[in-house]
Chain A
């Protein structure tokens, strides 16, 4: 039971909020996140955009991810994979844990993450470089490696300024980027 201090803390008197946060919709089609995850990826544009330098392009990719809605972005170099040398991780402030809060409110961070994954991947391919979303299996580990936050005891990543964050699908790319960290085999 949360502690409420009179005159200082605002009592939540919204009777529908718990349902909004925690209850999964009866028809999964009322949440388009899964559909967005499964959409086929487009083709790589034939003409490459000038990547300037890896440092500048990494800055642009991070700015672009934040423009699409991300709160934190990091780049990890994957030394053991020549085909996909970079992983982009992006994360969102998530006051509710999307693993347990299955309602549209609990999944809001995942929804924003799916939007950014889609648009960032599309943009990199339109830049003329390859990009591929690889799911969330390794997302938390890469986020910690990239310095986005630290792993808490409950398995969630906690960022210094944002608190618990949701790390969205990781994007692998061959776009030359300056990495925040290196993943060694």
Chain B
């Protein structure tokens, strides 16, 4: 197993591939060791290497919330209710023996993008496969392993499957505002399921065209950067042009279908993140750096502390599963509107040396309009971010049910302008804050 320390010291063998172009938000400054997928947080937790609390959170906890039980297999009461678990059992289709000829890869690339949009992807890109993106533990087609043949190395794999496809589904902006809440969890988890469903349909179509596919063998962030989905932000997430960080990326899909790769995107994230730091300020666990970029495994980028980010979860499991505050706080995460397009346009078209000035102006505007710590009362399906977590209350307008008799939620009237907010850790002097309406004359 390759550990982080090994990756920093070990020198990978020379590659016949030139360094990948990942845009301006990250910079390749040295040799890159392939990341072993077994060193990612979830597999480490599965082996119990992150402590009892995290292990029990992920493997021995059934969620109280019904939507979490449907969204997340590890917190489900019945795994037959969880889409990714069920669809994983589906038999994989064979590659069609009769290949559809592709005389012009540009035409096929246009077609595949049209197909992706039709199937429901919100962002979609095609990147060139690069050996450094491939997970060390997964750089093999399962079919090849079954036959006992030699395992393909990353270089051989990337020559065999020269393109990588990445798509994602964005979640609703209004639900994004309910970060640190089960509403935000639902938005995040179910768009992930939709990404999976749409990628499976696309994979089946490519296999029916007569071309090979390999799912989940690559680092999704590197592939997303290469495919022009977005840029890597200070929050350690891909920031897209239309949706900011509120996108749930699918697995990567490597293929030998003749395509034309997209170029990395430049929407000014590299310059904006230098001055903004809203995600770092609002992160409840201080997992996002306030400092500059550092070199990790040959890549210069903003490095988040994934351990502190991840280890918070067992302690907030009753209230939410995914924090998502860095996504909601990011000024790029906004609804689809002309002023959002204008702001992105201004960043993209400003000469690079002047972008810092534009970013300061846009950040000032963002603070004034959406607040330094964006919060909003969101009500959805009976959930209400204005209700203190752990407390039961019905705030649905017009509800006449006698909740108290059945031992269910009592009826309470929380004024619409009284916004509740659960604020763990960093702001924990007041665990649950309410924004009181301003009294007349005060």
Q: Which A residues fall within an 8 A CB radius of B?
A: 14-17, 19-20, 25-32, 35-36, 39-43, 45, 49-53, 55-56, 60, 63-64, 67-69, 104-105, 108, 111-112, 115, 118-119, 122-123, 125-127
Contact = CB atoms under 8 A, between A and B. Distances in A.
Interface residues of B, number: 56
B440 interface: no
Contacts of B201: 31-32, 104, 108, 111
Given A41-B80, A42-B80, A125-B81, A27 B208 contact: yes
B87 A27 contact: no
B70 to A, nearest CB: 5
Nearest to A21: B118
Contact of B80 (A19, A40, A68): A40
Contacts of B93: 25, 27-31
A53 B396 CA distance: 10
B100 A19 contact: yes
B205 A17 contact: no
Interface in B212-230: none
Interface string B73-97: 0000111111100110111111010
B409 interface: yes
B286 interface: no
B87 A122 contact: no
A19 B111 CA distance: 11
B22 to A, nearest CB: 30
A29 B92 contact: yes
Contacts of A20: 111, 115, 205
B297 to A, nearest CB: 36
Contacts of A15: 107, 111
Nearest to A28: B93
11 contacts: A29-B91, A29-B92, A31-B93, A42-B78, A50-B406, A52-B403, A69-B194, A111-B197, A115-B194, A115-B197, A127-B66
B358 interface: no
B399 interface: yes
Contacts of B317: none
B400 interface: yes
Interface string B110-145: 110011001110000000000000000000000000
